[in-house]
Chain A
Amino acid sequence: MNQNLHQAGVKLLNALSRHSELIMQVYLSGTLQESKYSPKVIESLVKQGILWRPEAEAELRLKNAVRNLLESSLQDERNRQVDANIGSALASLKTLAQHYKEALEHGRFAESEAHLSDLTEHVYGLTESLANNVRVLFSRINNEFGYVSSIDAKIRENELAQGQVSDLLKQLELFRFDELSTVAGSHRELRHLLVVALQQCFSRVTQELAIVQARLLELLGRFREFRGRTRLLKGFVLHMEQKPDFAPGNYYNLTQVTMLFNVADKMIKPAAVDVNRVEHEQELQQIVGSIKSLHRANKGYQPERAAQQIHVEQQSSVEFAEDLLKNAVEDYFCRVIDSGKRITALDYYQENKLEFDPEAWIYQVIGGYQGLTSEEQAYFAIETSGEPHPIYNGNFIIRDVELGLR
């Protein structure tokens, strides 16, 4: 029997893990989308009591036990249900304790052992469910009923939670520790479970519930304040819509002006510098030192500095003249080479009736000679004729140059 139970349990848990996707989908959306999963899987889950169909035409839902398991393990705040059936739990505890005592009296130790473990399970189950209920309430308070958006809904949620707290407190009153201690009698295990464990749990839960209640009232006050403010604002807008020319009376002319509209004008202006204060000297100097003197007076519009269009033209005439001069020099050099005689530049100039400025011509001839590579220069000999300057020492005035072949 025990072996069977074990196997069945493992099978159930395996089914849960194998179809975890499906189960979470049902948990989050409420119902199963049957078209998405194979009918075989669904059927097996129904058989194992994980899914069930509340009505013939209704969609499949998660069994409450599975849902509870998920809610308490995931600490899901959507869980708003507070289960407070302490009366029946206590009655079953008492019954089990009677069974245990009877078994002990008759010396049926194996049976008594079973009863005791059952009782332990029940006691801890009760304490856990109480602690869980308080936790559920706290988690809802801590995010200020964040799962609903409007203030009115928050107020309703708050009222529901308050009702649950008072229910829980009423249920807690069912704890009669004197009765429990009589039931436990002098049995050590029973006393530990029924008196010590339950009492600890009881005092903790009552304390926490007191805090929960205080917090709930505080929150309710705040929500009401919020609602009041929202209504005030909305009412004002409405009023202005209905009476656009509304203006509040001139309260400032009453003999007794309310402090609310008595706001004094600002009067403090920045202080000025006192240059005669010795202790400020350093700071003032620094300030003066950091002043940049800018000599950029505003000169207004300057047409000559404005952007202008630039005309790019080829300066052909100048280039032409230069070329002419250069060609003439080249002709002169060729003439020297052809004739093999020494010819002065000015002789050549007159001979060919050149029209350049003679000085420019001589310059160009010298330049032409200097412009040759040293190898070519070696073929020519150039000699200048002229005289030293009469006044400025060391200056030599060239009157003419003579070019010949070496």
Chain B
Amino acid sequence: MITEQGRILELLLSGRFICQVSDEDAWRFLKTSGNTDKIETQLNVLNRTLASAAEGEVFYAAYQTLAEPERKVLGSQFQEISTNLLPLVEWLLLVQQAGGSDVPVTQGSALRLNELQSSIEDTPAFAEQLEKISRYRLFGSTSTHLEGQLKQVFKRLTDLGYLLKPNQDKQIYLGTGKIEYLYEVIRFIDETEALSLAEQAEQSVQQGNLL
């Protein structure tokens, strides 16, 4: 029998993001300060350290010291993140707009595939957007049908850990903490590159109003 601590260690070492949605027990365990120390010492043996993002909503394993091989891994990972950023952001916006409530997708958001599908079917602009998104290499859909595209996108996102399907029989997905992580990545890039993305968006809205 594996202990709770061992189970969490295994999750972390297999590159998982632990949040309240994906694994509440593990998340609560890590939230307790005494437990984090125990996990931390064990991770340190393997040159890992416990990292958290989005104000302690997500935990994952990071490297403790970075030498050449570690940097290489991070480099390829970063390449992947930055190429996947645009498809993911476009998908987030599509779901937000098609959802009808104008609420961004966050950790714990419930996405009902059927509702989303009918809303996208009714609006040709959404359908076009979905088609474009599903063609990105990240999702790699070759389907010509809207349903196939949507399912493929959601399947890939579940594989990547952004979504969770609590009940295998129902087409309802939950957003995980990795989505929060994604927001933080965008925010970080926004700040470091001084892109002032929010201002750009606001300006374009105002200009749209003028037009």
A residues near B (Cβ < 8 Å) are 146, 149-151, 226, 228-240, 247-253, 257-268
Residues A237 and B93 in contact in the complex (CB < 8 Å), given A251-B78, A253-B71, A268-B13:
yes
B residues near A (Cβ < 8 Å) are 10, 13-16, 46, 48, 51, 53, 60-63, 66, 71, 73-75, 77-78, 81-82, 85-86, 89-90, 92-93, 96, 100-104, 106, 181, 183-190, 192-193, 195-202, 204
Name the contact of B92 in the complex, choosing from A233, A248, A263 (C-beta under 8 A).
A233
- 13 A-B pairs besides A236-B186, A264-B63 with CB distance below 8 A are A149-B102, A232-B197, A232-B201, A234-B201, A235-B190, A235-B198, A235-B200, A237-B93, A253-B71, A258-B188, A262-B66, A263-B15, A264-B62
Min C-beta distance of B45 to chain A, whole Å: 12
- Complex-state Cα separation, A126 to B181, whole angstroms: 51
Residues A263 and B187 in contact in the complex (CB < 8 Å), given A229-B104, A248-B193:
no
Residues of A within 8 A of B92 (CB): 233
- Complex-state Cα separation, A232 to B197, whole angstroms: 6
Cβ–Cβ contact B184 & A233, under 8 A:
no
Residues of B within 8 A of A258 (CB): 188
Cβ–Cβ contact A252 & B71, under 8 A:
yes
Residues of B within 8 A of A146 (CB): 101
Min C-beta distance of A266 to chain B, whole Å: 3
Closest A-B pairs by Cβ, 7 of them? A235-B197, A266-B15, A235-B201, A262-B62, A234-B201, A252-B74, A231-B198
Residues A253 and B82 in contact in the complex (CB < 8 Å), given A238-B200, A239-B200:
no
Cβ–Cβ contact A231 & B201, under 8 A:
yes
Residues of B within 8 A of A252 (CB): 71, 74-75, 77-78
- Complex-state Cα separation, A68 to B16, whole angstroms: 56
Name the contact of A260 in the complex, choosing from B61, B82, B188, B200 (C-beta under 8 A).
B188
Cβ–Cβ contact B201 & A261, under 8 A:
no
Cβ–Cβ contact A232 & B186, under 8 A:
yes
Cβ–Cβ contact A236 & B89, under 8 A:
yes
Cβ–Cβ contact B197 & A259, under 8 A:
no
Cβ–Cβ contact A232 & B71, under 8 A:
no
Task: Give the number of residue pairs across the A-B interface with Cβ within 8 Å.
Answer: 135
Min C-beta distance of A252 to chain B, whole Å: 4
Cβ–Cβ contact B93 & A250, under 8 A:
no
Residues of B within 8 A of A249 (CB): 192-193
Residues A232 and B189 in contact in the complex (CB < 8 Å), given A237-B86, A265-B15:
no
Residues of B within 8 A of A229 (CB): 104, 106, 183
Residues of A within 8 A of B102 (CB): 149-151, 226, 230
- Complex-state Cα separation, A246 to B63, whole angstroms: 28
Cβ–Cβ contact A231 & B186, under 8 A:
no
Cβ–Cβ contact B188 & A232, under 8 A:
no
User: Which chain B residue lies CB-closest to A253?
Assistant: B71
Name the contact of A233 in the complex, choosing from B13, B186, B196 (C-beta under 8 A).
B186
Residues of B within 8 A of A235 (CB): 190, 195-201
- Complex-state Cα separation, A257 to B201, whole angstroms: 29
Residues A262 and B74 in contact in the complex (CB < 8 Å), given A226-B103, A238-B204:
yes
Residues A253 and B75 in contact in the complex (CB < 8 Å), given A232-B198, A233-B93, A235-B201:
yes
Residues of A within 8 A of B202 (CB): 231
Cβ–Cβ contact B197 & A265, under 8 A:
no
Min C-beta distance of B88 to chain A, whole Å: 9
Cβ–Cβ contact B89 & A237, under 8 A:
yes
- Complex-state Cα separation, A228 to B198, whole angstroms: 7
Cβ–Cβ contact A264 & B199, under 8 A:
no
Cβ–Cβ contact B15 & A261, under 8 A:
no
Min C-beta distance of A277 to chain B, whole Å: 16
- Complex-state Cα separation, A240 to B87, whole angstroms: 11
6 sampled A-B residue pairs with Cβ under 8 A: A229-B106, A232-B201, A236-B197, A237-B89, A261-B77, A268-B10
- Complex-state Cα separation, A149 to B102, whole angstroms: 7
Name the contact of B13 in the complex, choosing from A231, A234, A257, A267 (C-beta under 8 A).
A267
Residues A263 and B201 in contact in the complex (CB < 8 Å), given A149-B100, A239-B195, A268-B14:
no
- Complex-state Cα separation, A258 to B48, whole angstroms: 14
Highest count of chain A CB atoms <10 Å: which of B15, B85, B101, B198: B198
Name the contact of A250 in the complex, choosing from B75, B186, B197, B200 (C-beta under 8 A).
B75
Cβ–Cβ contact A260 & B192, under 8 A:
no
Residues of B within 8 A of A234 (CB): 93, 197, 201, 204
Min C-beta distance of A80 to chain B, whole Å: 19
User: Which chain A residue lies CB-closest to B10?
Assistant: A268
Residues of B within 8 A of A253 (CB): 71, 75
Name the contact of A237 in the complex, choosing from B14, B48, B61, B90 (C-beta under 8 A).
B90
- Complex-state Cα separation, A270 to B66, whole angstroms: 26
Residues of A within 8 A of B51 (CB): 259, 262-263
- Complex-state Cα separation, A100 to B186, whole angstroms: 71
Residues of B within 8 A of A226 (CB): 102-104
User: Which chain A residue lies CB-closest to B193?
Assistant: A248
Min C-beta distance of B186 to chain A, whole Å: 6
Name the contact of A151 in the complex, choosing from B103, B192, B199 (C-beta under 8 A).
B103
Min C-beta distance of B36 to chain A, whole Å: 14
Cβ–Cβ contact A230 & B78, under 8 A:
no
Residues of A within 8 A of B188 (CB): 258, 260
Cβ–Cβ contact B60 & A263, under 8 A:
yes
- Complex-state Cα separation, A252 to B74, whole angstroms: 6
User: Which chain A residue lies CB-closest to B77?
Assistant: A263
Cβ–Cβ contact B183 & A247, under 8 A:
no
- Complex-state Cα separation, A106 to B1, whole angstroms: 91
Residues A248 and B198 in contact in the complex (CB < 8 Å), given A229-B104, A233-B92, A262-B66:
no
Cβ–Cβ contact B15 & A149, under 8 A:
no
